[in-house]
Structure 1
Amino acid sequence: MNAAAFGFAVIAALANMAGAAAVTSRRRWSVRSLETMVALSAGFMIAVALADVLPEAIEQGGRRAAVVAVIGFLLVHLTQHVFARHFHFGEETHHVTPVVSASALVGLLLHTFVDGVAIASGFAVSRELGVLLSTAIFLHKLPEGLAISSLFLASGLGRARALGAAALLGAATLVGVLVAESTKLVGDVGLALSGGVTLYVAACNLVPEFQSKRGWQLPTAFFAGSALYFAARALIGGH
């Protein structure tokens, strides 16, 4: 097992728990701070998916990798916006039913499992790509944990279950690393799958959370996220 991949997956899982703790401990994030974090994450994730992950996957697997990336993109839409229609990144302020919160959890479990596959696949190519992918995943883990825990609280399921839901998301990421490495899913298939999922989460989940908001702060954060990716890539070196 790649110790670095598992270590970064643990850090990502802890970010899920930190987001949940921020909600269940009644410490409220300012809306603007959360939106800025989401915008920064979106910029970074889109850059890493389009500039590194998908080109590497297609170089390794050709047309098959491109098809797998599309499948990954569609699977996230199916689980998050067909099975779980009431889901968004951010704190839930309206009452929802337990069925809605459970369906959102199921959809996110697929996504967080693929997060683990992505981390393992990145490190299988190079340490540099693994670090970049892990950073992209870490950046959206905090709002993800915040979103699922607030959904559970809004549905009246209590703090313990809200924290448990976030813990399941973190565990799914660790399982994704272990399954990817034990089944050799870390090749072009795993990389392409993670590229499609990363692109979907950034462009379809995160960007809509802030794109209609006025002002320069959020667009600036979005472009800064992409700039941060290129700066990080230059700092740690190409793969």
Structure 2
Amino acid sequence: MAVIVALGAFLMTLFGGWTAQRVTDRRHLVLGLAGGLMLGVAGLDLLPEAMEAAGHEVLGVPQALLLFVGGFLLAHLVERLLAVRHAAHGAYDGGEHRHHAPQIGMAAAAAMIGHSLMDGIAIGAAFQAGGGMGVTVALAVISHDFADGFNTYTVTSLYGNERRKALAMLFAAALAPVAGAASTLLFTMPREVLGGYLGFFGGALLYLAAAEILPEAHHRHPARSTLLCTVTGVAFVWLVTGIAE
């Protein structure tokens, strides 16, 4: 089931890359909704599940909460080291730096591929947790993989890489969640380890929503409609989580 669901992420990533060549003025609404879905899943689903599965304390702080913060910080560190944020902004604002360092575009795209691989593992791990967890995590992954596909293609091409390289990186990013989900068929995570991983992934997901997706959604369109899409995404996850319980 996890692999089948991951195929949705595969298609959504390709769709994001396809859209990168045919940009419309409604992208901010899509990103606003995706950011809301990611925020809802991280705070309303992943973190509570992680706390329940891996809630023992380390120096007075629940382990799952430490890993949640660690996931957030690691995502921030990787972003800074690989200049993903700088590259992503260039993808949207037409920055003049794009032809200066093709390797930056490739490095940024490689980081996104690694993230997509972890997305697939998160889908598989969530389905192992049972209940509605797999559905809600898959929803978040699939929704923001549009942005991943868009950024992977655009960042690679805007930094002076050939179109075939941009397409190759896009295809690799699309395959990554399927490979990640398939890898979880080979093992079953102990409940405590699963809880820790979900907490860690939740922190990284929160960072992507708060520091990447939502700022981009409001970058040129600080409209109330974008904010409404974000709130709708959070409310939808709340509803899905409540029904799953």
Decide which of 27, 47, 51 is 1:54's aligned counterpart.
47
Q: Which residue of structure 2 lines up, in the alignment, with residue 163 of structure 1?
A: 167
Q: 5+ unaligned residues in a row in structure 2: which ranges?
A: 56-61
1:150 Cα deviation from its structure 2 partner: 1.1
Shift of 1:17: 1.3
Q: Which deviates further from its counterpart, 63-72 or 200-209?
A: 63-72
Of 181, 195, 198, which residue of structure 2 is paired with 1:191? 198
TM-score (norm 2): 0.85
* Structure 1 match to 2:9: 12
| 1:209 is the counterpart of 2:202 | no
The one-character-per-residue Cα deviations of 1:47-78 (angstroms, maximum 9, x if unpaired) are 11111111101111012222222222222212
Paired residue secondary structure (1:35): helix
1-side partners of 2:19 and 2:33: how far apart?
19
Separation of aligned partners in 2, 1:51 and 1:69: 13
Residue by residue over 1:68-96, the C-alpha shift from the partner in whole angstroms, topping out at 9 and shown as x without a partner, is 22222222212223222423276463324
- Quote the residue 1:121 is aligned against: 125
Could you tell me how far apart the structure 1 residues matched to 2:18 and 2:218 are? Answer: 27
The one-letter amino acid of 2:227's match is P
Aligned CA-pair RMSD: 2.1
- 1:146 corresponding residue in structure 2: 150
CA distance in 1, matches of 2:114, 2:169: 13
SS in 2 for 1:187: helix
Amino acid at match of 2:67: V
Structure 1 stretches (4+) deviating beyond 6 angstroms?
none
**Residues 21, 163 of structure 1: 8 Å contact kept:** no
How many pairs are equivalent? 230
For structure 1, which segment, 182-191 or 35-44, has the greater mean C-alpha deviation from structure 2 after superposition?
A: 182-191
Q: Structure 1, unaligned stretches of length 5 or more? A: none
Give the whole-Å Cα distance in 1 for the aligned partners of 2:228 and 2:104: 34
Q: In structure 2, how many angstroms separate the alpha carbons of the residues matched to 1:15 and 1:132?
A: 16
Partners of 1:190 and 1:118 lie apart in 2 by: 8
Of stretches 215-224 and 86-95 in structure 1, the one that deviates more from structure 2 is 86-95
SS at match of 1:156: coil
Q: Which amino acid aligns with 1:65?
A: A
- Alignment-derived partner of residue 239 in structure 2: 231
Instruction: Letter of the 1:214 partner, please give it.
Output: P
Q: Is the 8 A contact 2:17 2:170 kept in 1?
A: yes
Corresponding position of 2:110: 106
Q: 2:160 is paired with a residue of what secondary structure?
A: coil
Of 112-121 and 211-220, the range deviating more from structure 2? 211-220
